[in-house]
Amino acid sequence: MASRPQDSRGASREKSIYFMKIQEIKTALAELGAKPNKHLGQHFLVDKHALDTIVQEAEIEKGDHVLEVGPGLGVLTRRLIEAGAEVIAI
């Protein structure tokens, strides 16, 4: 299994994504060499309430298969997996 990206303290970056401020997201993207463009529809989910609503409305059940296009930093991906989905993210 591939290792997870780590921050400067050695902690899994994935665990802190939910709590990242916009500037922290910009910094993480810069570290990855990513330059998102809103004009191309590249947006990042930063509202926990919106995230919760998306997952709830999707009515995910254990074993559901979900195709996520443009997973970004994986915030929605992680929540879908936690809800029981098997996610393919491209």
Q: Calculate what percentage of the chain has a pLDDT beyond 90.
A: 42
Retrieve residue 14's tokens.
């994935």
Annotated binding site for S-adenosyl-L-methionine: 43, 45, 70
Find out whether 2 and 50 touch, Cβ atoms under 8 Å.
no
Sign, CA torsion 77/81/84/87: positive
pTM of the predicted model as reported, rounded to 2 decimal places: 0.69
Give CA–CA dist 68/81, Å, rounded. 11
DSSP element (H, E) containing 32: helix 22-32
pLDDT in tens, 21-58: 788 888 988 998 988 888 888 888 888 899 999 999 99
- Residue 27 three-state SS: helix
Find out whether 66 and 80 touch, Cβ atoms under 8 Å.
yes
Annotated binding site: 43, 45, 70
